[in-house]
């Protein structure tokens, strides 16, 4: 499968298919199984700031001694981080593919020190998963975006391993955000993240979680923004995520300009072996088309390469579905 070899953020990969951060990458046995099924790299299950803060709060003792709360918060944080560092070290010792660490944060304050420890533990790269829900009417879009930029600037000063930011699709101008991250030495972006979304159980009258897994139709937003961003910010590596359920989806995203693709939900539904099906499907398609490397076809259907780039800018159905009135 030499024809599938590629790079991502300077990392050498056997193929362009990465397993994204999830429970599938939370233990060494599963990671080894993913490697056996042709994973080119894994992004470890995230270390969650929100979860750490929640656990610390749940254990907090309400008393006249604030030092007790501080101690519990520090204790819970330290234990979570140490367990995560141990996972990095064990995974690196057990597989030959790159092991990318992941931190999921809601602020730019606590994670810089952790990132340095993650590098020391042997992580090949770091994926930063940031989301700050914009609920404050007094803050501008720029205020929220600045959290990402501040964190990128701080990380640049303490670690040398490549950093990718995993972004949501909620930005007013995603292309500008990606460009601003590249200016701050971020080597890659993952488009796009899936976040917890609320739903309402009308029988139990309670707020519950909406569907956790992606579906193939989710590919459409990812495809559009990969095609646009890869053309307009050409020096940053894009890993396409959300909606990658088969080899056809992976090929489309590579044609749009993605360096790599990330999959997760499809493996939960179909098992670890489905990863091999995706990778082999890409290779078979390349053989049919006569491509000898991924670089030969990457981006040839992206914005600026197709005959009418406006197809990626249209937002209304117009005449295409006029018969479905």
pLDDT at 114: 81
Cβ contacts of 247 within 8 Å, gap of 6 or more: 277, 278, 279, 280, 281, 282, 284, 285
CA gap 128, 148 in Å, rounded? 9
Domain ranges of the chain: 2-324
pLDDT at 110: 62
For domain 2-324, the question of CATH label 3.20.20.70 is answered with yes
pLDDT at 315: 64
CA gap 152, 156 in Å, rounded? 6
DSSP symbol at 17: E
Q: What are φ and ψ of residue 102, in 5° steps?
A: -140, 130
* Nearest alpha carbon to residue 123 among 97, 149, 152, 148: 97
Exposed/middle/buried for residue 316 (C-beta within 10 Å: 0-12, 13-18, 19+): exposed
Q: Are 230 and 299 in contact (CB under 8 A)?
A: yes
Tens of pLDDT, residue by residue over 239-271, are: 999 999 999 999 999 999 999 999 999 999 999
Q: Which parts of the chain sit beneath pLDDT 50?
A: 49-77, 322-324
Exposed/middle/buried for residue 302 (C-beta within 10 Å: 0-12, 13-18, 19+): buried
pLDDT at 161: 97
pLDDT at 65: 40
- Look up the pTM and report it: 0.86
- Rg (Cα) of the chain, in Å, rounded? 21
Is residue 54 within a helix (H) or strand (E), and if so which, with residue range?
A: helix 49-59
* Cα 154 to Cα 43, 132, 217, distances in angstroms: 22, 18, 37
Tens of pLDDT, residue by residue over 99-158, are: 999 987 655 556 677 888 899 999 999 999 887 788 899 999 999 899 899 999 999 998
Cβ contacts of 215 within 8 Å, gap of 6 or more: 243, 245, 265
Residue 166, SS3?
strand
């Amino acid at each position: 499968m030499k024809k599938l070899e590629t790079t991502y953020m300077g990392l050498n990969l056997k193929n362009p298919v990465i397993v994204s951060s999830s429970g599938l990458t939370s233990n060494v046995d599963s990671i080894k199984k993913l490697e056996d099924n042709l994973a080119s790299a894994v992004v470890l299950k995230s270390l969650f700031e929100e979860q750490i803060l929640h656990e610390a709060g749940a254990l907090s003792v309400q008393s006249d001694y604030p030092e007790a709360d501080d101690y519990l918060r520090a204790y819970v944080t330290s234990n979570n981080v140490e367990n995560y560092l141990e996972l990095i070290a064990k995974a690196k010792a057990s597989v030959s593919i790159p092991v990318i660490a992941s931190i999921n944060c809601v602020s730019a304050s606590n994670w810089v020190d952790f990132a340095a420890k993650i590098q020391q533990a042997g992580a090949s790269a770091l994926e930063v998963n940031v989301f700050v829900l914009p609920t404050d009417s007094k803050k501008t879009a720029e205020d929220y975006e600045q959290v990402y930029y501040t964190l990128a600037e701080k990380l640049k000063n303490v670690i040398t391993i490549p950093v990718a930011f995993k972004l949501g699709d909620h930005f007013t101008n995603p292309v500008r955000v990606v460009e601003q991250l590249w200016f701050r030495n971020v080597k890659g972006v993952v488009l796009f993240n899936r976040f917890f979304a609320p739903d309402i159980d009308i029988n139990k009258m309670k707020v519950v979680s909406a569907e956790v897994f992606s579906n193939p139709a989710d590919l459409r937003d990812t495809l559009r923004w990969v095609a646009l961003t890869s053309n307009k910010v050409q020096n940053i590596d894009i890993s396409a995520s959300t909606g990658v359920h088969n080899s056809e989806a992976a090929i489309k995203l590579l044609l749009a300009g993605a360096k790599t693709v990330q999959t997760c939900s499809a493996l939960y539904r179909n098992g670890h072996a489905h990863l091999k099906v995706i990778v082999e499907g890409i290779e078979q398609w390349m053989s049919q088309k006569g491509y000898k490397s991924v670089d030969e076809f990457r981006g040839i259907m992206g914005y600026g390469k197709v005959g009418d780039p406006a197809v990626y800018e249209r937002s209304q159905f117009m005449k295409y579905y006029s018969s479905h009135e």
